[in-house]
Structure 1
Amino acid sequence: MGGAVGVPGNITPCAEFNCYADAVAAARVFALTSPSPASTMPPPALNKAGLPAYPAKLSRPLKLTLFPLDITTPHELMRGFFLERIAPLRKEGSPLAEWTSTFLTRTFDQINRMVGEGVEAGLSLHDPLCIWYMLTRDDPAWKHLDQPEDIRIEVTGQWTRGMHVVDRRRRVKAGEGPTKAGTSGDPADELTFDEVPGDTLGWLSVRKGNRINRIVDSPGANLFAPELMRRVFE
């Protein structure tokens, strides 16, 4: 769980908390998905922990499934729904219900102070959504983009640290479209077509950049809160 791709951040205007808190670590993990990890690795000067460099070529790339704020934020536990479901459990004397009610009620109070009056407090279920996926990932209702996405993490920006950057330009990558027709069919031959003049930082390269599987849909934002309550309390 991390990042914000097409939505605002929740700790800065463009960054989600986890990836803002340690942007370098997040960028290093993302780099493991790349055919060329060096193409998206943070600058060596930022490696204050003295971590070793990744090998130029990995034995196999990391398969990373990403849950950014884009998908997690709409999955909410609303205050009214929670209080309705927890009341009978507290009446029965459930210690778990009493404990959960205590800290979540205070959480909802804080959310109300942040969003103002007239808006029902909702707790976005960021991390629990990842757990729901692991429990039910064979459900075809879980959907990711058709192709892995080249998402890179800004690690040095004064205002943009932790930002998830994608190339929104509508440009054909090297080795795709008409250019690819000129190859011999041997994958190695396509390497000669991988450099595009003026392509700073390799955004149009088929060898560079990250390969992130981003989840874009779930079995239902309205289904998760009831399922969560059921699994916790039944």
Structure 2
Amino acid sequence: MLFFTYCYLSVGILYAQDTQTNFARAEDTFLRNKPQEAIPMLESVLTADPANIKAAMYLGIAYQQMKRWDDAIALYKKLLNRAGVDTAQVAYNLGNVYFARGSAAFAEEYYSLAIQKNESYSSAYLNRANARIKVGNLADAVKDYTTYLSLEPASPKRPQIEQLLALIQAQVAAEEQKKLEAEAAAKAEEERRRRLLEEVSASLQAASEETKGLQASSEQVQSYDGEFVLE
């Protein structure tokens, strides 16, 4: 019995060592920026050790690098509920995948989840701002850019962001001015129509009074029943 137990433990140790060796090779390949080669190696590691979150994260990024968006999304969604401390990172990566696919609304959703899990996640604020620009939510985009700059005051992207904020503010001001002008034009048109209605109504009232006057005059004319005689 002890012999079989010893053999079982030995096999388990060897299996764990092989798994670690395979992961080390896959990790090295991935870190040397060879995603196409790393993908099958990382997939093999995950098949042997599904709980290897780090390998799963590497694989998701490799899928992104190869633009295998559907594979990346499927992998990250499986990870969300078991990523633990890496949940914010997984949600952020999901946002990046959706943004790359042109699905800004879904990207915004997952960037928001990343921020919910980590309120100081500066990159999530920046990317959510970019997603909000795409969906036309300028007001909230300004808030996110501002939060990003407060979290990253020395960011090399500050000049670009400040330029973008100035453009947004100018656009918002122009849209507000356009709205005010449209409201003024609508009010003027409403006033013009009201005056026209009053003028038409007044003219109809005057015509009615004239008709009544004519009818009254005709009632005062006496008829003559006699015969006219020519002399």
Q: Same fold (TM over 0.5)?
A: no
TM-score range, shorter chain: under 0.3
Higher helix share: 2
Structure 1 or 2, whichever has the larger Rg, is: 2
